[in-house]
Amino acid sequence: MKNKGGINVSEEGRKERKNEIKTGRETVKINKERIQINEDKIKASRNLEEDPGFELLKRVITESTGFNCEQYKEAHFRRRINVRVRATNSDSYEEYLKLLKKNSVEYEDLIAALTINVSEFFRNPETFGVIEKEVIPYLIKSRSDSLVKSIRIWSAGCATGEEAYSLAVLLHRVLGRDFDRYRISIIGTDIDNVSLEKARKGIYRENVLKNVDTSIRESYFVRQGETYQISDQLRSMIRFKRHDMISESSISRFDLIICRNVMIYFKKEIQEQLQLNFHQALNRGGFFVIGKAETLLGTASNRFKPYNTRERLYIKET
């Protein structure tokens, strides 16, 4: 077959051309759909930013759960709430509030979203390396002549317990045969009851054990199918309890306090007050560890002496 220019055009060529046109139309349609979805997302985000129901929702959350919404940076707090608003297909804060009143289980999902409980064993291994090789030996030596050889540690904002158990492993390994001569007390606190219950059970999936070497797995974990159970010996060393570090009074007389990647979500004046509270809760010569993205603020920056600034490790001198 020839076209008007006298050029042969096969049937196969005409089909290919039709397919190209069809494919092109489908691509345009898909792109239009993607653009529409993105526009809908932008519109939904803008609508939530302008939604007057935000303040009411915060007040209801505080009254119903005791979670102090006003202490958090607003941009962060709004982002976390919006995660649940979108997950439940709610079009507004008012609609989400109605859902909360009908479904009490949603409160648990909301608190989980707000507290961002992301953890793993020996998270930031370099930090734990300094704790194992320098901090714990120092604490042990400082207690060597004491009648009661006690070491008290606080894992604040402990989430599901991986950090607290990591510290227990290090203490047990460093003390070795002298372990039974010491009175070890490790407290893990968090505001999320669901996370605390998981911590008490001490059952974890392999994805949070990536920094745990074979010898530690064999000594302190019992494999149960696809999960790992913390040994009873370690579980007996730790007490997990609910504690709101902002509104509740601090626990005291600690030799080591770790509060990493928690304070960064609070307003600066709250961060400074918490750091002063932790300073007061430490024994003289006690150590304080914060997250690598966090810094000491205001008066608190003068109360602690830097010990290892790279690992955000400080010491209380006075």
Count of other CB atoms within 10 angstroms of residue 5: 6
Are 287 and 315 in contact, with CB atoms under 8 Å apart? yes
Q: What is the pLDDT of residue 24?
A: 62
* Strand extents, DSSP E, 55-182: 150-156
Buried b (16+ CB within 10 A) or exposed e, 134-152: ebbebbbeebeeeeebebb
Distance between CA atoms of residues 132 and 111, nearest Å: 33
In 10 A of CB 169, how many CB atoms? 22
Distance CA 160, CA 283 (A): 26
Sequence ranges of the chain with CATH classification 3.40.50.150: 125-316
Q: Alpha-carbon distance 61 to 38, whole Å?
A: 30
- 215 residue type, one letter: S
Q: Tens digits of per-residue pLDDT, 274-300? A: 999 999 999 999 999 999 989 999 999
Exposed / middle / buried, residue 81 (Cβ in 10 Å: 0-12, 13-18, 19+): buried
Q: How far, in Å, CA of 194 to CA of 191, rounded?
A: 9
Q: How confident is the model at residue 31 (pLDDT cuts 50, 70, 90)?
A: low
- Residue appearing with tokens 């001569």: 181
Task: Encode pLDDT of 104-119 as tens digits.
Answer: 889 888 887 887 667 8
pTM: 0.77
CB proximity list for 304: less than 8 A, separation 6 or greater: 275, 279, 288, 296, 314, 315, 316, 317
Share of the chain above pLDDT 90, in %: 61
The per-residue pLDDT for 212 is: 96
Q: What's 20's DSSP letter? A: H
Averaged pLDDT of the chain: 87
CB 222 within 8 A of CB 231: yes
Contact 240, 199 (CB under 8 A): yes
Q: Which residue has the higher pLDDT, 230 or 68?
A: 230
| Interstrand relation of 282-290 and 313-316 (parallel, antiparallel or unpaired) | antiparallel
pLDDT in tens, 256-273: 999 998 998 899 999 999
Give CA–CA dist 297/278, Å, rounded: 13
| Secondary structure E strands in the chain | 150-156, 183-190, 203-205, 221-224, 227-230, 238-242, 254-259, 282-290, 304-308, 313-316
pLDDT band at 71 (very low <50, low <70, confident <90, very high): confident
Domain range 125-316, its CATH number among 3.90.1150.150, 3.20.20.80, 3.60.9.10, 3.40.50.150: 3.40.50.150
**Distance of alpha carbon 153 from alpha carbon 238, whole angstroms:** 9
